Amino acid sequence: MAIPPSPESGRGPRVYGWLNERLGLTTIYNSTLARMVPKTDWFYTLGSAAMILALLQGVTGMLLTIYYVPTPDHAYDSIQYIMNDVMFGWLIRGMHHWGATLLVIVVFLHMLKSYFAGAYKYPREITWLTGGVLLLVVLVMGFSGYLLPWNQKAYWATSVGTAIAGAVPVIGPLLERILRGGQEIGAVTLARFYGLHIWWIPIIVLGTIGVHLYLVIRIGITSPPERDE
């Protein structure tokens, strides 16, 4: 945690003072970590929990790309390699696997709390809307990631999931073929789900979290509702 600069001599404070003058570290600290918040309860930690989990998914996901190969002939074997041959591979993949489930749960609970606390009201509508986008995007993340192990469960879950898109009136069959990148689930499907999973969605997530957090800091969080006299 940053410490406000003091006029004392010594190298630490001098280095901090030099950086602070140029970067405005104290201003950042005061407006983020040291900002005033209303008296809250444990439900107000769900947002931070979701952010930490998202961060963890990012880091473990980046580590998995070191070995994972998104092609039908290598996907399954490369994951077996991660699980059995790479040191702590089971741990990194396990964290990504369970972290994904936990993230969906925590984001959903965070949404429930915001709803029951009335946090979607003026002036926090955009915080609420970006949160809604983040919930949907996390679900897309879960769906696209589910195919990547390329085992039976992955294959058939994606078969069912894309077939649901096919039930849309009129454009359904076209939508299904676009999702799959063809008639069947195969190499093209795996590659596009991977690209979606590691590039497109994460960048959308980063941007949306940026707006969401900016608004949390700019407007502040809402007080828990109180009973009127």
Partner 1 sequence: MTEQMSANPEEVDRRKFLTGIIGVVAGAVAVVVGVPTVGYLVSPGVKQANAEKWITLGPINSLTPGVPTGFPFSRSIHDGWVESSQTGVAYALTYDGQNVLVLSDVCTHLSCRVTWHEDRQEYVCPCHDGFFDIAGKVVSGPPPKPLNPFQSKVENGQIMILLEA
Position 32 contacts partner 1 (CB under 8 A): no
CB of 162 to partner 1, least distance (A): 27
Terminal Cα-to-Cα distance of the chain (whole angstroms): 40
The piece of 6-14, 71-79, 128-136, 187-195 that touches partner 1 (CB under 8 A) is 71-79
CB of 191 to partner 1, least distance (A): 18
The piece of 58-66, 171-179, 180-188, 197-205 that touches partner 1 (CB under 8 A) is 58-66
Report the residue from 29, 67, 120, 143 that binds partner 1 according to the rule CB under 8 A. 67
- Compute the distance between CA of residue 64 and CA of residue 52 in angstroms, rounded to an integer: 18
CB of 23 to partner 1, least distance (A): 22
Contact 208, 133 (CB under 8 A): yes
Residue closer to partner 1 by CB (options 52, 191) is 52
Position 149 contacts partner 1 (CB under 8 A): no
96 closest CA partner among 76, 84, 74, 79: 79
Report the residue from 23, 28, 66, 188 that binds partner 1 according to the rule CB under 8 A. 66
User: What DSSP string runs through 161-185?
Assistant: HHHHHTTSTTTHHHHHHHHHTSSSS
Q: Contacts with partner 1: how many residues (CB under 8 A)?
A: 18
For residue 186, what is the DSSP state? S
- Compute the distance between CA of residue 176 and CA of residue 159 in angstroms, rounded to an integer: 10
The piece of 8-16, 61-69, 106-114, 118-126 that touches partner 1 (CB under 8 A) is 61-69
- Compute the distance between CA of residue 210 and CA of residue 34 in angstroms, rounded to an integer: 19
Position 74 contacts partner 1 (CB under 8 A): yes
- Compute the distance between CA of residue 215 and CA of residue 62 in angstroms, rounded to an integer: 28
SS (H, E, C) 136-150: HHHHHHHHHHHHCCC
Q: Which amino acid is at 49?
A: A
Task: Please report, for residues 2, 22, 213, the alpha-carbon distance to residue 33 in angstroms, rounded to integers and kept in the order given.
Answer: 9, 19, 12
Position 29 contacts partner 1 (CB under 8 A): no
CB of 202 to partner 1, least distance (A): 19
The piece of 77-85, 118-126, 171-179, 219-227 that touches partner 1 (CB under 8 A) is 77-85
Residues interacting with partner 1, by CB under 8 A? Answer: 1, 39, 59, 63, 66-67, 74, 77-78, 80-81, 85-89, 91-92
